[in-house]
Amino acid sequence: MKNLQQITLLLLATSASGFHIAPRSATMINPYKSKLSDNQFQRQSETRVFEKPDSKSQENDERLDDNASEEKGMSWLESFKEWWRSDEPIEDFETYLASLTFALLLRFLIVEPRYIPSLSMYPTFDVGDQLAVEKVTKRIRPLNRNEVVVFNPPETFKQFVGESNKKAKEALIKRIVAVEGDIAKVTGGKLYINGVMQDEPFTAEEAAYEFGPVKVPPGCVLVLGDNRNHSLDGHIWGFLPKENVIGRAVFIYWPPWHLGNGGMY
């Protein structure tokens, strides 16, 4: 009895002091918690097993992808066959033919693009400039001085460079400085037409050669390059027949920073 009283007093004192005795085993204190942990571990294991790649599933997915690709290819082929059997091909061909015909007529009769390959017309044109050449007005109004023209090389030019030279087959671009009946002369770096010195702000520099005086024959013009000392032009190979003129240069359309018609008169 005395021992039981001592134990009771000891328990009361321990509770009052806030001291707790740690359990010897979590299983002994909370067996449910241990079972819950085991269940969680089992579920994690099941999850890992579920997430493991399945080769059969991959093969099935690949087969589905292949089937989808085949169906897509078949649908494209069927769509093409359906389009081909309809009236659309004929309509598309007619539209393309009309557009091509219009472009060719525009190219051969009205205006055509040209590319500058050299510095013979510098500073008016630089290498790489692309310009539009109109081909209509040459038929309705005469060629004038200071106009820039594109032309097929005359026979005298071909003889000078040689018939086998590729330049003999390429169109040229120069400036008209004299028309039929004019008397042209280059002396002291200046151009004189009919005895009058010409104002030529478009030239790169004064001519370093002497030329003339010469009289331009009927049906011809005299053309020179704006880069007078670096141009294979009329002061070397003579006069240009008017029928060789393709058209007048009207404006530069490329590159954008050269856009315009400055110096073309």
Interior CA angle at 157 toward 152 and 162, to 5°?
110
Closest CA to 175 of 138, 150, 148: 148
Comparing 38-42, 58-62, 148-152, 257-261, which segment has the lowest mean pLDDT? 38-42
Write down the mean pLDDT value for the chain: 77
Tell me the three state secondary structure of residue 234: helix
pLDDT tens figures, 217-228: 999 999 999 999
Please check the confidence at residue 205 and state whether its pLDDT lies above 90.
yes
Q: pLDDT band at 144, cuts 50/70/90? A: very high
Which one from 69, 75, 99, 120 is the annotated catalytic residue?
120
**CA angle, 206 then 209 then 211, to 5°:** 110
pLDDT of residue 103: 67
Residue 86 appears among annotated catalytic residues: no
* pLDDT per position as a tens digit, 98-121: 777 766 666 666 888 999 999 999
pLDDT at 177: 97
Q: Which residues pair with 179 in a beta bridge?
A: 221
Pick from 210, 186, 216: which is nearest to 198 by CA?
186
Instruction: Point out the least confidently predicted range of 5-19, 173-187, 192-206.
Output: 5-19
In the prediction, which pLDDT does 40 show?
Answer: 47
What is the model's pLDDT at position 72? 54
DSSP 8-state secondary structure symbol assigned to residue 99 = H
Mean pLDDT of 207-216: 96
